[in-house]
């Protein structure tokens, strides 16, 4: 393994482990209202993004991103990622991490559908099969819960939509994250100011170690995104695709083994269908990438 590949692997590993461990952080702060936690995540994320831009000397990319078109798309992506954050924080506090992890297992399949709808990407037969199996898993979960697993669906569709919007904006991930939090920061500041005036919350949390743990919301939000961007430039898409399942797997294990959330046999069937769909989808993606590489190699030799 070359130095660049090793760095990419370590960056991806760090990003997915941090994302996977997020339930532990939010559960430690579940005495803070989800809306208040979201506001802190936004406000502490902005200076963190600026620090990363300074360290990486990305001011040129940051200034270049400040066009009307980019700001319009980034305003939309900011709303989508804030929605995703809020639902996830609420899910952790409401002891529904298992349902949240299901959403991130489904997310890659929803992203494929987004690519077909918005970017005219064609789906292979195996990918359609994977999506059909995943729909079966969601149907089983719906039957077990007696309602749609809205937490799972909102998380996967909001994050997949966020990815689709960011695909439209070809800018540095650090600059994009900083602009998104800058767009959201005035609303977060105004809401937190009002919330504090009601006596329900405070700028540095409610008690204990909140003054230290709340500012960590910035790095915990920004660092995985930066690590993922570094990894994506160095690793193959198939490798990234395989590793991304570490996050929901870790979240699922934390939910069942650490938080002791109930996990019935029917839920096991639903998750089994989702995992089967992911195996079909990932296997097809790996085979497709290998075939594309062989065709590209043959084309180069023919020149």
Residue 72 confidence (pLDDT): 92
Mean pLDDT for 53-72 is 87
- Is 70 exceeded by the pLDDT of residue 204? no
| Segment 118-138 mean pLDDT | 80
- Non-local CB neighbours of 190 within 8 Å, separated by 6+ positions: none
Nearest-angstrom CA–CA distance, 262 and 97:
11
For residues 112-141, average pLDDT: 80
Q: For residues 29-50, give the mean pLDDT.
A: 90
Say what the pLDDT of residue 200 is.
66
Q: Which of the 8 DSSP states describes residue 254?
A: I
What is the structure's pLDDT at 179? 92
Q: 């990438």: which residue's tokens?
A: 289
pLDDT at 196: 78
Average pLDDT taken over every residue of the chain: 84
Distance from C-alpha of 188 to C-alpha of 299, rounded to nearest angstrom: 53
Distance CA 196, CA 232 (A): 40
Element (H, E) at 76: helix 68-93
Mean pLDDT of 141-150: 80
Q: Kindly report, residue by residue over 183-194, the tens digit of the pLDDT.
A: 999 999 998 888
Contact 126, 280 (CB under 8 A): yes
Which pLDDT score, from 0 to 100, does residue 1 have?
A: 57
Nearest 5°: phi and psi at 179?
-65, -40
**Which pLDDT does position 96 carry in this prediction?**
92
| Rounded average pLDDT over 77-83 | 93
């Amino acid at each position: 393994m070359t130095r660049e590949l090793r760095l990419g692997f370590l960056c991806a590993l760090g990003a997915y482990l941090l994302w996977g461990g997020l339930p532990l952080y939010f559960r430690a702060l579940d005495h803070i209202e989800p809306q208040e936690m979201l506001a802190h995540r936004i406000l502490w994320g902005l200076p963190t993004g600026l620090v990363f831009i300074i360290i990486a000397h990305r001011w040129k990319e940051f200034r270049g991103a400040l066009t009307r078109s980019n700001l319009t798309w980034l305003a939309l992506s900011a709303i989508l990622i804030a929605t995703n954050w809020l639902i996830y924080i609420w899910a952790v506090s409401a002891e529904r991490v298992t349902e949240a992890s299901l959403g991130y297992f489904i997310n890659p399949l929803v992203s494929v559908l987004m690519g077909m709808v918005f970017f005219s990407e064609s789906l292979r037969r195996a990918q359609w099969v994977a999506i059909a199996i995943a729909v079966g898993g969601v149907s089983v979960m719906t039957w077990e819960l007696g309602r749609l697993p809205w937490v799972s669906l909102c998380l996967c569709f909001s994050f997949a939509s966020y990815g689709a919007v960011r695909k439209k904006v070809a800018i540095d991930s650090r600059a994009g994250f900083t602009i998104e939090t800058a767009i959201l920061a005035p609303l977060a500041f105004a809401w937190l100011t009002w919330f504090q005036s009601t006596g329900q919350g405070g700028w540095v949390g409610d008690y204990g170690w909140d003054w230290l743990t709340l500012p960590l919301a910035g790095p915990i939000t920004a660092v995985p995104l930066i690590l993922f961007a570094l990894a994506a430039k160095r690793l193959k898409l198939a490798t990234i695709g395989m590793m991304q399942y570490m996050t929901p797997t870790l979240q699922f294990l934390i939910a069942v083994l650490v938080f002791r959330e109930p996990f019935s046999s029917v839920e096991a069937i639903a998750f089994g269908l989702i995992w089967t769909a992911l195996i079909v989808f990932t296997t097809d993606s790996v085979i497709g990438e290998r075939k594309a590489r062989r065709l590209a190699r043959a084309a180069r030799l023919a020149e």
